[in-house]
């Protein structure tokens, strides 16, 4: 872990769920973490307080809708100021879910999902990449999803597939100083209840179709994000790593 001690990290959408798990794992590796939130101020501040107590390092909560150019710039500027220097590692985690069929999809819902998943990634990268390039080192890790590999997940699947392409493009643009990779989780065990409103049978169906026989856990995804930050992955860039127990594999 010593290789990452003192690195400054921004995790978007990190007040709860997967984002919080990623923030916690990177804080455990002796990095200083900016926890971005849009509306969950209390949750973000409570997470920061816990991380500071557990690690003895300074962490910060920064507000902002990362899909809005002004908010994103303000949030990143605040993170840089309060962490004491430019962002070394960016984790683009924010990304709301929707599977409303395209023929029924309201324009507002399209914008909400697309902007938070795709536009937010572009805006954050645009803000942090110059300093990473100048420093000669940086890591950008984007969160895609297994929904990118199927064709019945509407705007969410489309946006997560766009993240795959954007990751590859950015890996070319920002080389050699910065590596850019993505992680594509499957259905997350701890989030099953939240998705029950879409389909009560969802979790059982996914488990039945997953060769690993279970759903992925947040801590497992957070560990992959951490590993992508290390020198062991210096020669890995432009890839999307599925973490879903084989769920994406086609079958007849």
Q: Annotated catalytic sites, by residue?
A: 156
Distances, alpha carbon 164 to alpha carbons 92, 147, 182, 206, in Å: 12, 11, 7, 22
Phi, psi of 106 (to 5 degrees): -70, 145
Distances, alpha carbon 137 to alpha carbons 52, 128, 230, in Å: 26, 12, 11
84's CB contacts (< 8 A; 6+ apart) are 8, 32
User: Reduced to 3 states, what is the DSSP secondary structure of residue 174?
Assistant: helix
27's CB contacts (< 8 A; 6+ apart) are 33, 51, 54, 55, 57, 59
Q: How is 113-165 classified by DSSP, letter by letter?
A: HHIIIIIHHHHHHHHHHHHHHHHT-EEEEEE--GGGGSSSSHHHHHHHHHHHH
Length of the chain: 252
Question: 175, 139 in Cβ contact below 8 A?
Answer: no
């Amino acid at each position: 872990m010593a290789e990452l001690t003192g690195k400054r990290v921004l995790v978007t959408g990190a007040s709860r769920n997967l984002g919080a798990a990623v923030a916690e794992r990177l804080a455990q590796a002796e990095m200083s973490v900016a926890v971005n939130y849009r509306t969950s101020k209390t949750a973000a501040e409570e997470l920061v307080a816990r991380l500071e107590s557990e690690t003895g390092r300074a962490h910060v909560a920064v507000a902002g809708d990362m899909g809005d150019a002004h908010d994103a710039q303000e949030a990143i500027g605040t993170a840089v100021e309060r962490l004491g220097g430019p962002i070394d590692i960016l984790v683009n985690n924010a990304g709301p879910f929707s599977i409303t069929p395209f023929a029924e999809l309201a324009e507002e819902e399209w914008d909400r999902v697309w902007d938070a998943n795709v536009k937010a990634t572009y805006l954050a990268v645009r803000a942090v990449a110059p300093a990473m390039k100048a420093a000669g080192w940086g890591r950008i890790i984007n969160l895609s999803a297994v929904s990118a590999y199927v064709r019945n997940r509407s705007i969410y699947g489309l946006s997560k597939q766009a993240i795959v392409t954007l990751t590859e493009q950015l890996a070319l643009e920002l080389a050699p100083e910065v590596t850019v990779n993505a992680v594509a989780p499957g259905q997350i065990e701890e989030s099953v209840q939240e998705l029950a409103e879409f389909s009560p049978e969802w979790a059982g169906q996914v488990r039945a179709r997953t060769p690993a026989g279970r759903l992925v856990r947040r801590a497992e995804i957070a560990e992959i994000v951490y590993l992508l930050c290390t020198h062991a992955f210096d020669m890995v860039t432009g890839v999307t790593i599925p973490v879903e127990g084989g769920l994406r594999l086609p079958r007849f």
